[in-house]
Amino acid sequence: MQPRDLSAQTVYRAGKGVEEVARELGIDPDDLVKLSSNENPFGPSPAAVDAIRAGAEHASSYPKTSHTDLKAKIADHVGVADEQVWLAPSGDAALDYLARAVIDPGQRVLVPTPGFAYYPMSARYHHGEVDEYELHKRDDFVQTPGAVLDAYDSHRIVYVTSPHNPTGSEMRLEDLRTVAEETGEETLVVFDEAYVEFSGAPSAVGLLGDRDDVAVLRTFSKAYGLAGMRIGYAVVPEAWANAYARVNTPFGVTELSCRAGLAALDDDDHVEKTVETARWAREYMRDHLAARTWESGGNFVLVEVGDAAAVAEACRQRGVIIRDCSGFGLPECVRITCGTREGTKRAVETVNEVIAEVSA
């Protein structure tokens, strides 16, 4: 036999890991600057590292208490009831939980282009079909309600990313509200706030107070530095509380991840340092890169470099790993994650050298 027809499924191509690239280049991994996946350049909170070490002894038990505790702590952190937090083994998994909860086979979803690759993947895994709304480069990828609503046709889910990956553009809260208001009662609007910590903008969680057709996505992978632990969550309307038990993969978030998440949420200093440095880095990049950049609310900057594949490869040869945005439909752009001060300066210097050479 064969699997079902998977031809519409796109393959997610993750960037290579530091060790792999270092091995290829024959250099020490510590000499590489990896700014391609929007990870935290400071690593996890030291408190989370301690919690993971200490948690090793509990690895024989299913995550029970730690899961309950983490849900409660997140609920407190965002200001909702515990049941409104759909804890999941990554933000991507939380997107799957939402799709499981609302998509009937053949229903359509609306995703941004350029945009985050996992929205269409998740919808298709759940037998949904995908339409796109465009964020235009000629308008600096501005996110207006019109950009979304012009393409809207009673879709079952509408995805909005703010700050947006890979462009960094943001949608204002009143515009998010307009999108929720102007779409139908049977449309779920998912506001993806994977990068919200880096933005000064208010969260869309406030919209859940008087709406039952909005969900907010968050992750521990970016500001909290726990990409390798795979923890994320959706904040859902109060009325949805009971559905969690029907869509949650039992014990999906591991014991070690729950403990790491609990510790990370308590380490305000680590998040503050991370956010402060990212804000410095995105301004530094915008001021010092010899190329067009866009304002970013996230921990990364989109840069127009000409031939992105060539520039990213030449940077890699020099030990600086950045994201070629061809896969996002922007073959002339790269996305550079905010690094430490040292890492960011080295990346800017390297990219500028490479651009000068490529255009010479």
Ligand X SMILES: *Cc1c(COP(=O)(O)O)cnc(C)c1O
In terms of Cα–Cα distance, which of 160, 144, 145 is closest to 110? 160
Stretch of residues binding ligand X (CB under 6 A), selected from 14-22, 63-71, 170-178, 216-224: 216-224
350 binds ligand X per the rule CB under 6 A: no
Decide whether 90 or 350 has the Cβ nearer to ligand X: 90
232 binds ligand X per the rule CB under 6 A: yes
Q: Which of 227, 285, 308, 348 binds ligand X (CB under 6 A)?
A: 227
Shortest distance, CB of residue 42 to ligand X, whole angstroms? 17
Using CB under 6 A as the binding rule, the residues of this chain from 157 to 176 that contact ligand X are 161, 165
Using CB under 6 A as the binding rule, the residues of this chain from 233 to 272 that contact ligand X are none
Distance CA 360, CA 357 (A): 5
Instruction: Kindly list the strands in the beta sheet with 214-219, ordered across the sheet, starting from the edge strand earlier in the chain.
Output: 85-88, 232-235, 214-219, 188-192, 157-161, 108-113, 129-134
Residue nearest to ligand X (CB): 91
Shortest distance, CB of residue 355 to ligand X, whole angstroms? 25
Shortest distance, CB of residue 358 to ligand X, whole angstroms? 28
Decide whether 157 or 354 has the Cβ nearer to ligand X: 157
Decide whether 224 or 319 has the Cβ nearer to ligand X: 224
Q: How far is CA 26 from CA 317, 320, 321, 347, in A?
A: 10, 14, 15, 20
Q: E strand or H helix at 134, and its extent?
A: strand 129-134
- Cβ-proximal residues to 101 (8 Å cutoff; 6+ apart), any chain: 240, 243, 246, 247
Query: Pattern of binders to ligand X over 67-106, x per CB under 6 A?
Result: -----------------------xxx--------------
Using CB under 6 A as the binding rule, the residues of this chain from 107 to 146 that contact ligand X are 116
Q: How many residues sit close enough to ligand X to count as binding (CB under 6 A)?
A: 13
Distance CA 154, CA 149 (A): 10
Shortest distance, CB of residue 342 to ligand X, whole angstroms? 24
Decide whether 96 or 350 has the Cβ nearer to ligand X: 96
User: How buried is 350 (Cβ within 10 angstroms: 0-12 exposed, 13-18 middle, 19+ buried)?
Assistant: buried
Q: Which of 107, 203, 219, 299 binds ligand X (CB under 6 A)?
A: 219
Shortest distance, CB of residue 173 to ligand X, whole angstroms? 18
In terms of Cα–Cα distance, which of 174, 216, 180, 209 is closest to 195? 216
Please give, one letter per residue, the 3-state secondary structure of 140-187. CCCCCHHHHHCCCCCCCEEEEECCCCCCCCCCCHHHHHHHHHHCCCCC
Q: Which of 33, 70, 180, 194 binds ligand X (CB under 6 A)?
A: 194
192 binds ligand X per the rule CB under 6 A: yes
Q: Give me 173's structure tokens.
A: 């809260």
Decide whether 234 or 354 has the Cβ nearer to ligand X: 234
Decide whether 193 or 213 has the Cβ nearer to ligand X: 193
221 binds ligand X per the rule CB under 6 A: yes
Decide whether 261 or 319 has the Cβ nearer to ligand X: 261
Q: E strand or H helix at 333, and its extent?
A: strand 333-337
Measure the CA angle with vertex 78, ends 73 and 83; round to 5°.
65
Please give, one letter per residue, the 3-state secondary structure of 203-223. CHHHHHHCCCCEEEEEECCCC
Distance CA 77, CA 112 (A): 29
Shortest distance, CB of residue 353 to ligand X, whole angstroms? 28
Residue type, 184: G
Shortest distance, CB of residue 170 to ligand X, whole angstroms? 12
Distance CA 223, CA 40 (A): 6
Decide whether 97 or 116 has the Cβ nearer to ligand X: 116
The site for ligand X (CB under 6 A) is made up of 90-92, 116, 161, 165, 192, 194, 219, 221-222, 227, 232
